Amino acid sequence: MVVGELTEEVDVLVIGAGPGGYVAAIRAAQLGKSVTVVDKADLGGVCLNRGCIPSKALISAAHHYEAAKTSPYPGVETTATLDFSKVQAWKQTVVEKMTGGVKTLLKGNKINVIQGEVFFSKPDEARVMTETEGHSYRFNHCIIATGSRPIELRSIPFSKRVISSDEALSFDQVPESLIVIGGGYIGIELGQTFAKFGAKVTILEGTDSILPLFEPQLSRLVLRNLKKYDVDVVTKAMAKSVEEDETGVTLTYALGEETHTVRASYVLVTVGRRPNTEELGLDTIGIKLTDKGLIEVDEKCRTSVQNIYAIGDIVPGAALAHKASYEGKVAAEVIAGHESVVDYRCIPAVVFSDPEIATVGLSEADAKAENKEVSVGRFPYAANGRAVALNADEGFVKLIADKKSGLLLGAQVIGAEASNLIAELALAIELGATLEDVALTIHAHPTLGEMVMESAEVALGSPIHVVVR
């Protein structure tokens, strides 16, 4: 280090350029702040480079390949061939388009972008280590958005053939076989995708159901579909140890008292993600963490250190990109002197499984646990003309409303385009819409969206396209 090195002054320092950080940076710049963003890796964070975007690209390619193999339309004969390296190259162009877009947006908003690793030296000062040198920055405000990384199992450490979602997304060929440890949404999305590409997939889940955070009615349909692709799903299975050789891995797991082994080309560990809070020097500046290692924040996204904010996967709540971005806007607005707070009635969650699952607000079980009297309306895809014409008649839309007021409390959709259908329901909940409000809104025909209207009518006891018993 150079003696007498200069400390640069910056106004708003954003650490991390994922969906939390880059959105925070842009909103702060829109509000007239001068902003510096530092990321040690690629712009766009996990979501754009190793998460949402590449996984969805592979999922849609796999879906297309599978659908083409067994054309669902009688009279339309197709043959499918797969050149996986081209699929990967395409996925990479998708990622580059999106990350390039982030770069353009940051530049367009006159945001100073630095590549380097940040750690705090003082409550108002951070050091940035680039490849060649270190620099100190004194800031007025800082937003920490350093995200998360895959959890490693101590007994089954990452290696050449024991991999995380990062490596699974960049396989250069479809593995012959794959064991997935962890049946959460990332494990299910990736397991199902590689099964469709032709891998023999085994999913091991510790609890008694895959997608344990979702109601059994939802996970059951995904499970049925996984079996169609010859995926072995083992629940209540505890992975114990792994042996690796030149050609593959042998994994040992316990199922109750019994011990089993399974062999595959790779083991993909998707048991959860850990917040990137350890190497920032948070303890030296006294930022409080929760017992899970997450950063404690208030409703303005402020940490225990004045002028330092935290957002995204490193703070409590759902580890989802749209939650990170929402918090990014709140933090930026608070810094700019606005009265913003984290204030939402609901936040949608989507699993891009086949069929897709999307939920928002309370489930029926949640509502009952809160001692709420509810009306429930469920409408099947099989009774929707558009769904049948799409050859996608599997699934349902379910609404949960307060019995007395009719106020919509929650919704669950499983089936084609569930990920898009859920947006209307989130809006309805935020606006305080009732079942009648939804039922009286004209939905275009024939569309999947009509199921939203009809499930509201089911809950109200007067549906047209199903018979009330």
Partner 1 sequence: SSREILAAPSVRKFARESGVFLGNVIPTGPNGKILREDVERFLAGADHAQ
Ligand X SMILES: Cc1cc2nc3c(=O)[nH]c(=O)nc-3n(C[C@H](O)[C@H](O)[C@H](O)COP(=O)(O)OP(=O)(O)OC[C@H]3O[C@@H](n4cnc5c(N)ncnc54)[C@H](O)[C@@H]3O)c2cc1C
Provide the Cα torsion 263, 268, 273, 279; round to 10°: 100
Beta bridge partners of 113: 37
Question: Reduced to 3 states, what is the DSSP secondary structure of residue 207?
Answer: coil
List the x/- string, 413-432, binding to ligand X by CB under 6 A. --------------------
324 touches ligand X (CB under 6 A): yes
114 touches ligand X (CB under 6 A): no
Provide the Cα torsion 315, 320, 324, 327; round to 10°: -80
List the x/- string, 266-285, binding to ligand X by CB under 6 A. ----------x--xx-----
Closest residue by Cα to residue 415 from 439, 391, 431, 438:
391
List the x/- string, 21-40, binding to ligand X by CB under 6 A. x----------------xxx
Site for partner 1 in 392-451 (CB under 8 A): 405-407, 430-432, 434
Distance CA(408)–CA(362), nearest Å, equals 9
Residue 97 φ then ψ, to 5°: -60, -45
One-letter amino acid at 421 equals L
In this complex, which beta carbon is closest to partner 1, that of residue 167 or of residue 430?
430
Query: Within 13 Å, how many C-alpha atoms sit on residue 11's CB side?
Result: 13
177 burial type by CB count under 10 A (0-12 exposed, 13-18 middle, 19+ buried)? middle
Shortest Cβ 308–partner 1 spacing (Å): 22
Q: Can you tell me which of 12, 13, 14, 17 binds ligand X, judged by CB under 6 A?
A: 17
Site for partner 1 in 321-340 (CB under 8 A): 338-340
Q: How many residues contact ligand X, by CB under 6 A? A: 35
Distance CA(109)–CA(456), nearest Å, equals 43
List residues with catalytic annotation: 445
In this complex, which beta carbon is closest to partner 1, that of residue 333 or of residue 356?
333
Shortest Cβ 340–ligand X spacing (Å): 18
Distance CA(141)–CA(129), nearest Å, equals 19
* Binding segment toward ligand X, per CB under 6 A, in 232-240, 318-326, 367-375, 443-451: 318-326
Rg value, the chain, Cα: 24
* Binding segment toward ligand X, per CB under 6 A, in 46-54, 172-180, 256-264, 360-368: 46-54
Q: How many residues contact partner 1, by CB under 8 A? A: 13
The interface partner of residue 20, options being partner 1, ligand X, none and the CB cut-off 5 to 8 Å by kind, is ligand X
Q: Which residue is nearest to ligand X (CB)?
A: 147
Distance CA(101)–CA(96), nearest Å, equals 8
Distance CA(263)–CA(218), nearest Å, equals 30
Give the N- to C-terminal CA distance of the chain in Å, as an integer: 79
Shortest Cβ 440–partner 1 spacing (Å): 12
Helix (H) or strand (E) holding 385: helix 385-389
Residues annotated within the binding site for NAD(+) are 182-189, 205, 272
Binding site for partner 1 (CB under 8 A): 338-341, 343-344, 405-407, 430-432, 434
Binding site for ligand X (CB under 6 A): 15-21, 38-41, 45-47, 51-52, 55, 117-118, 145-148, 165, 186, 276, 279-280, 312-313, 319-322, 324
